[in-house]
Chain A
């Protein structure tokens, strides 16, 4: 029994010791984190070194902030957007993409000559067409009209009657310009008395793109 009570005492003492050790350990951990020197000299040294380092940090932060502002400005998203818009505009102009829009449709059921087709294209341009097509051929600046074995050729492709001309633009303006007295339609009615010619305003037209892609072989940009 005596041996047993000794053992119990020992265990209890060890337990208390253990608890105390743990407490000590924890206290130390907390202290290690927030140790501030006690001496006036040490505190002064610490304050001045912190002050100096914060000064350097602030300078660094200011430099970085200026850099960041500069970069943000240099990104110039607006310029990019402007360029995208300009490319889109020119692609429409150059017939590089399929386009849609309101306009007019002119159908001529007659064996038109190449000159007539050429004159009609000129008339559409003059009327203010933003984009135009004849048959499935988009009209671009370099569109040439010719005749091959009695058939009309546009962009090196046969176009057969009925000739369907489409022009995107303000429908009323285009309609008025084409149907005007003494205009090309009047001439066509005279030249082809049996022809069926219909001119209609359209809410939405779909025009094909110009198929050919050519890189200039002779022309070089004039240096600015």
Chain B
């Protein structure tokens, strides 16, 4: 009997354990005088009770045990040698083995890196999708606020108003010359009325009227958004042209101005326009001392937990 069993051959043998041993024992029944099940210890009393068989049984057990032992020992020694071809010389094999091990370690490391990067990218993409949502929302908010703040040029139907100093060539000595001029408060009154009539945007000589805009004068010079203006003053408003014109034409509106138009020749005209263009505010916005009572929380804009 050849004892050089390869481990491959033995594998199923081992896997099934004792039941295989039983079968193995039974396979050899023909070679022996008597069947000897491995679980002889549990033999029924009728068979175990026959004394003439005891010696035979003991011998069989020893033979089988020895065989099995030998078999396994042999198998154990033979195990690591699947002799398919001639082995490489030792030194070369060592180098090859080391190289393979290094390459395998490198492979494991790369796979780990790739796995981690994929996870990172996936979570980043998810975050980006959520952030793009809030970015879009934020852009819309920003546009809305810019529109409201006068930071965007507008066009639309509206009213064009022109105010100018009197065309009179000479001022009688008895008259106050200021009665012949356009004053900053007249512009202020006109602007106030236009807002009341639902104007959506107003500009005076291309200076957009915004929240910080004051209309005042230094000497006889009118300043708007800290820019010096000179007559004629053209006020442009976007809104319902009829409503805008109506509020200016109302008898109790701009009474002193209208009186001066009549008495001193101050010029005041207005005309509806199907489309006027109002430029964006070009001045600075200084917010240094004011804070939102409820600050815009960053978390409001961050992706929600469910996203």
Q: A: which residues have CB within 8 A of B?
A: 2-3, 5-7, 9-11, 13-14, 16-18, 20-21, 23-25, 27-28, 31, 36, 38-44, 46-47, 50-51, 53-54, 57-58, 60-61, 64-65, 67-68, 71-72, 74-75, 80-81, 83-84, 86-103, 115, 118-119, 122-123, 125-126, 128, 130-131, 139-146, 168-170, 206, 216-222
The verdict on A16 contacting B65 (CB below 8 Å), with A92-B287, A219-B156 known, is yes
- A99 partner, pick from B64, B147, B188, B292, beta carbons under 8 A: B292
The verdict on A90 contacting B146 (CB below 8 Å), with A2-B51, A119-B188, A141-B213 known, is yes
Inter-chain pairs besides A9-B65, A28-B79, A38-B82, 4 sampled, C-beta below 8 Å: A64-B121, A90-B142, A102-B289, A219-B238
The verdict on A94 contacting B41 (CB below 8 Å), with A61-B117, A71-B128, A80-B135 known, is no
Q: Which B-chain residue is minimally distant from A145 (CB atoms)?
A: B192
The verdict on A94 contacting B145 (CB below 8 Å), with A39-B87, A219-B155 known, is yes
- Are A17 and B84 in touch, CB under 8 angstroms? no
- Are B7 and A10 in touch, CB under 8 angstroms? no
Q: Which A-chain residue is minimally distant from B101 (CB atoms)?
A: A36
- Are A101 and B196 in touch, CB under 8 angstroms? no
- B298 partner, pick from A25, A36, A84, beta carbons under 8 A: A84
Interchain nearest-CB distance for A53 vs B (Å): 7
Q: Which B-chain residue is minimally distant from A94 (CB atoms)?
A: B148
Interchain nearest-CB distance for A114 vs B (Å): 8
Interchain nearest-CB distance for B269 vs A (Å): 21
Within B115-166, the residues touching A (CB, 8 Å) are 117-118, 120-121, 124-125, 127-128, 131, 134-135, 138-139, 141-142, 145-158
Query: Number of contact residues on B: which range applies?
Result: 35 or more
- Are B54 and A6 in touch, CB under 8 angstroms? yes
Q: Which A-chain residue is minimally distant from B102 (CB atoms)?
A: A50
Give the residue among A17, A18, A65 with the most B Cβ atoms within 10 A: A17
The verdict on A141 contacting B210 (CB below 8 Å), with A38-B93, A60-B114, A87-B141 known, is yes
Q: Tell me the total A-B contact number using a CB cutoff of 8 A.
A: 307
- Are A13 and B68 in touch, CB under 8 angstroms? yes
Say if the beta carbon of B14 comes within 8 Å of chain A: yes
Q: B: which residues have CB within 8 A of A?
A: 7, 10-11, 14-15, 17-18, 21, 38, 40-41, 48, 51, 54-55, 57-58, 61-62, 64-65, 68-69, 72-73, 75-76, 79-80, 82, 84-88, 92-93, 96-97, 99-101, 103-104, 106-107, 110-111, 113-114, 117-118, 120-121, 124-125, 127-128, 131, 134-135, 138-139, 141-142, 145-158, 185, 188-189, 192-193, 195-196, 199-201, 209-216, 238-240, 277-278, 285-296, 298, 301
